[in-house]
Chain A
Amino acid sequence: MKSLQGTWAIGWNTFTELVRMKVFYFLLIFALLIIGNSAFVAKFSFQEQFQMLKDISLGAMSVFTSMLAILATANFLPKDMEDRTIYTILAKPVPRISYLLGKLTGILLLLALSIGLMTAMFLSVLWFGEQGVLAETRAQLAGAPAEELALAIREVTEGTFNANLAPGIAIIFIKAALLASLTLFLSTFASSGLFAILMSVAIYFIGHLQSTAREFWMAGIDVAWWSRVMAAIVALIFPDLQAFNFVDDVIAGVQVPLSLFLQTAALGGLYVGVYFLLAALVFAGREL
């Protein structure tokens, strides 16, 4: 219980520290991006406007949270060592695993809050857009038959909000949590924050190709042995980040089956847990 309290205290401290670092300024860029986008695409049809708003907003949410997860996590251990705060904490009866868990908790809190704020901004802009188009549609079809008006309204509402936006956004958070946990693992043996950032970014790109490498390896195609070995290494060591790419299909209006969502979320949770335990394993043996 005491250990949990300690973990929570470190987590909350990490969160407030990040907030004081003014990381939320990136939300201003996000707001400018989506509001600017709405103004810029005003000449398009409403379907195109909503499509592009979703494309850009959800794409930006995915980029920003991934960047935030990597950049915020990578610097923690090297910075705490440089500032010597880590020695003050670990000199107390705080297990190293609690320290790491606290750090991860703080970053996850930050990611959750960031996604929450970005979602609120995105949905507000979408809602205002929808209301504008609905008012225009009602005015244009004032004398039209009820069936025609209902169809037009259905077309507008289906083009804006759909239930599958929620699992799409949830998966963005899970992907960011995975990246945070992975970066934490890398930073346990990294000599600097820069190393952890570079490694995480490289893994981010390779991770999106993991599924291709896995399929290539498992298909047993008759190619040079070293090609298969490389594919096997990528398939075994790197996370399958493509599995967390729901956004592109969600924007296109594809329904997310519940079982697919739950399994993907479980896979994300598993990755987070495994990377965290590996980080704890390496960190436990690290000389401070």
Chain B
Amino acid sequence: MILRRSLAVLLLAGFGAAILPFQARLAAEAKAANFRSTVLNLDLRERIGQMGFLAALSGFRSPLAAFLWIEAHSAWENTEWGRMAGLFDTVTTLQPRSLLYWDMASWHMAWNASVAAMQDEKQPSEALRIRAQRQYFELGRDLLERGIRNNPDRYQLYLQLGVLLRDKIEDPCAAADAFLRASEFPDAPPYAKRFAGYMLAKCAGREREAYDLLRALYLAGEQNRLPTLTHLVGELEKSLDIPATERVESVQHLDSRPTDSP
């Protein structure tokens, strides 16, 4: 019996040795497919505690992330912004491939926490309130940029980064780049390219690029001839002094500038 047990252990080790190259290849393939990208390190261990870390190590990362997300939601209801930021950090570390967590965490920081900071009655100094607001914008941006680093193969976070740069940080050049990057993905919505064009038009020094993009969109079909796009094409034709023969036909209808939906 002991002989058989020893033989079984030896055979097991032999089998383990034989499949090592296969396991290594499989792990490399999984990494290439962006699988198992979570880094379970001591920093995470500090944040989620011993039991949480054990759960994460045992393959229960996603339920743990869900529970912590619910906790973050409670923190939001109690307007505990600092605790929320910490929990978001942990959730996104546990589930770095979940776009929703990056997107929502960034939105909470840049839209909700920043507004709360600006309306903070305990802070009499407006300068400090503005500084706190900017810090929350940057936190939101940082979350999205880290999310993009973890999900370079999907367009959604580029799009959200573009929105944040456009609406909160008010950096049209960076917003244009983010929208352009999003629009390069085959499954990106058509408005990504339009938004890139709108932002390029506001970015000093890149008007020609904006014109080329918007013109191409205009000529691509009726569905792109939205009021904002048509207006911008006309404006850019004027400012860039485009010869009349090269101008798109709609240039004469550019008097009003109504808004359009995405």
A35 at the interface (CB under 8 A from B): no
Which A148-167 residues sit within 8 Å CB-CB of chain B? Answer: 148, 151
Contacting residue for B23 out of A47, A52, A267, CB 8 A: A267
Please determine whether B35 and A205 come into contact, CB atoms closer than 8 angstroms. no
Please determine whether B24 and A252 come into contact, CB atoms closer than 8 angstroms. no
Contacting residue for B17 out of A56, A236, A245, A267, CB 8 A: A236
CA distance A52 to B60 in the complex (A): 13
Contacting residue for A52 out of B13, B17, B66, CB 8 A: B66
**Size of the chain A interface, CB-CB below 8 angstroms:** 67
**Chain B interface: which size bin?**
35 or more
- A48 contacts across to B, CB distance below 8 A: 69, 100, 104
CA distance A241 to B3 in the complex (A): 28
Please determine whether B97 and A249 come into contact, CB atoms closer than 8 angstroms. yes
A254 at the interface (CB under 8 A from B): yes
B221 at the interface (CB under 8 A from A): no
- Of A73-81, A107-115, A126-134, A206-214, the stretch lying at the interface with chain B is A206-214
Given A44-B73, A148-B261, A208-B59: A243 in contact with B33 (beta carbons within 8 A): no
- Of B4-12, B174-182, B197-205, the stretch lying at the interface with chain A is B4-12
Please determine whether B59 and A257 come into contact, CB atoms closer than 8 angstroms. no
A246 at the interface (CB under 8 A from B): yes
A94 at the interface (CB under 8 A from B): no
CA distance A211 to B22 in the complex (A): 12
A20 at the interface (CB under 8 A from B): no
Which B158-186 residues sit within 8 Å CB-CB of chain A? Answer: none
A8 at the interface (CB under 8 A from B): no
* Interface residues of chain A: helix, strand, loop or mixed (majority): helix
Which A236-275 residues sit within 8 Å CB-CB of chain B? Answer: 236-238, 240-249, 251-257, 259-260, 263-264, 267, 270, 274
Given A211-B27, A218-B24, A260-B26: A51 in contact with B262 (beta carbons within 8 A): no
- B27 contacts across to A, CB distance below 8 A: 211, 215, 243
Please determine whether A189 and B5 come into contact, CB atoms closer than 8 angstroms. yes
Please determine whether A241 and B8 come into contact, CB atoms closer than 8 angstroms. no
- B9 contacts across to A, CB distance below 8 A: 237
Which B1-48 residues sit within 8 Å CB-CB of chain A? Answer: 1, 3-5, 7-9, 11-13, 15-17, 19-20, 22-24, 26-27, 29-30, 33-36, 38
Show 11 residue pairs from A and B whose CB-CB distance is below 8 angstroms, ordered by the A residue. A41-B70, A54-B62, A55-B62, A62-B60, A147-B223, A151-B189, A237-B13, A243-B26, A251-B62, A253-B154, A281-B7
Q: Which residues of A contact B (CB under 8 A)?
A: 40-41, 43-45, 47-48, 51-52, 54-56, 58-60, 62-63, 144-145, 147-148, 151, 185, 189, 204-205, 208-209, 211, 214-215, 218, 235-238, 240-249, 251-257, 259-260, 263-264, 267, 270, 274, 278, 281-282, 284-287
